[in-house]
Amino acid sequence: MFCSASQHVDSYYASSCAEQLRLRPALDADLDVDVAIICAGFSGLHTALRLVLAGKRVAVLEASRIGWAASGRNGGQAILGWSCDMPPLEAALGQEGALRLWQLVRWAAGEIQALPQRHGFDIDYRAGHLWTSVLARRVSHLHEWQEQAAQKWGYERLQFVAREQLPEWIGSERYQAGLFDPEGGHLNPLKLVCGLADTIEQHGGLIFEQSRALSYQASGDGYEVQCERGRVRCGALVLAANTYLDQLAPAISRRVLPVGTYQVATAPLSAEQAQSLLPRNACVTDNQFVLDYFRLTPDQRLLFGGGCTYLGGMPRDIAAATRPYLERVFPQLRGVPIEFAWGGHIDVSLKRTPDVGGRNNLYWLQGFSGHGVLPTLASARAVADAILGDDTDLQVFQRIKAYDFPGGRHLAAPLEAVGKAYYRLRDAF
């Protein structure tokens, strides 16, 4: 799976951040630090920032560019909860443990807004998430979550939106009802990456691009990481490469499967047109298994995605592959120019539960399964706190059993593809 590049893919995000994406040096000497972190995505950068603010000497090793993978290409939806939803977490952790993970991700929802304000950078944050139902029989799922959120997790801010009220929220006839969450929101993920990286460096942290970690080994009380042109000796090592971890740590990497996903950005719409699509500027996801997600950008583009591939590569023409789904939701946009189309890979765990843990000063964060904007921040807090001496939250995460994909990656991908086909069929009726 591993691949790297010297430039970001041609996405809307890369275009919007062109002036912020300065080149950082590659590691070209040996280095001693308290903590080495592999990969400069959300997981690694959030962990690094928390550690440098606590006074730790930190080096982040990135094989490509900061935010090059999923962290800089995703839908930008900062949604409360976890990809697996709460029942699997409750089954693994009990009510108390699951409640703690809910509290952590809710903390992350507030922190994702506070961080830029605290450190002086902008991420184009807009508040509000609307969860919609395409099928009438799945409207009950919205009611059930609203009730469970209040009764089990102490969250009473969800607002049910009946079909007759939906035009106030979304200019589409496709949906039967919705559930509005005021603590969810949307943002520019690559601007978040750039802001985190700059802040880390301002507080003494080191970030090296084009510096792939080739191997690591225990050394004394810590670890030694070998890169092409230098070594990093550290007391603690954090593996935050997710689906790009590969042979660096096979025992950990075989617990996630790379899944391709993609999205598009239209040409800028008129203010009136954009307002008619999403009058309250909330981001939207539906409750299909193979879901659509979309939102507006500050310059009035529609970002639309949701397609997945399990058997390797991306569609030859992402824009053409996505257009039917975009126009299914918004037929009034038929023929609208698409200016950007891009894809990438997310790390999916077998049960869509997070895989976050540590032992002997080696830590890892992965398995966010396409729902990582807030969970990566929550998980980074747990890992960073453990390195700083408080492993209370990390112990909760480690009670979630992480499973290898059956048959290894060669068999796992076809099995996932069959499963996806089954659920897509269920989505149709």
Q: What CATH code is carried by the domain that includes residue 299?
A: 3.30.9.10
Structural domain contains residue 327: yes
Contact 26, 210 (CB under 8 A): yes
End of a domain among 334, 349, 364? Answer: 349
Q: What are the C-alpha distances in Å from 163 to residues 176, 177, 259, 405?
A: 5, 5, 33, 40
Which pLDDT belongs to residue 425?
Answer: 47
Contact (Cβ atoms closer than 8 angstroms) between residue 311 and residue 414: yes
Q: Is residue 201 part of a domain?
A: yes
Could you tell me if residue 115 is inside a domain? no
Same domain for 196 and 174: no
Contact in structure between 185 and 78 (CB atoms under 8 Å): yes
Q: Residue 148: what are its φ and ψ, rounded to 5°?
A: -65, -40
Per the rule left: phi > 0, alpha: psi between -120 and 50, beta: everything else, 312 is left
**Residue 186 pLDDT more than 90?**
yes
Range of the domain at 355: 12-74+190-257+351-418
Note the pTM of the prediction, 2 decimals: 0.95
Residues 198 and 340 in one domain: no
Q: What pLDDT is attached to residue 314?
A: 85
Tokens 């729902």 label which residue? 371
Bridge pairing between strands 355-359 and 362-366: antiparallel
For the segment 249-276, what is each residue's pLDDT rounded down to a tens digit? 999 999 999 999 999 999 999 999 999 9
Measured N-to-C along each axis, helices 189-202 and 86-119 cross at an angle, to the nearest 10 degrees, of 60
pLDDT band of 246, cuts 50, 70, 90: confident
Residues 134 and 253 both lie in one domain = no
Exposed (0-12), middle (13-18) or buried (19+): which is 231, by Cβ within 10 Å? middle
Residue 229 dihedral angles phi and psi, to the nearest 5°: -125, 25
Q: What is the rounded average pLDDT for all residues in the chain?
A: 94
Do residues 178 and 269 share a domain?
yes
What does the pLDDT average to over 339-350? 94
Percentage of the chain modeled with pLDDT above 90: 89
The answer to whether residue 311 scores a pLDDT higher than 80 is no
Angstrom distances, CA of residue 180 to CA of 134, 281, 408: 15, 12, 39
Q: What is the pLDDT of residue 386?
A: 98
Specify the CATH number for the domain of residue 216: 3.50.50.60
Higher pLDDT, 104 or 312: 104
Alpha-carbon radius of gyration of the chain:
21
| Residue 418, pLDDT above cutoff 80 | no
> What's the pLDDT band for 409 if we cut at 50, 70, 90?
low
Q: At residue 166, does pLDDT exceed 50?
A: yes
Residue type, 397: F
| pLDDT interval class at 174 (50, 70, 90) | very high
- Give tens-digit pLDDT for 122-136: 999 999 999 999 999
Reported as a pLDDT band with limits 50, 70 and 90, residue 14 is: very high
Residues 239 and 292 in one domain: no
User: What is the number of structural domains in the chain?
Assistant: 2
Residue type for position 409: R
87 lies in some domain: no
Report yes or no on 97 lying in a domain. Answer: no
358 has a pLDDT exceeding 50: yes
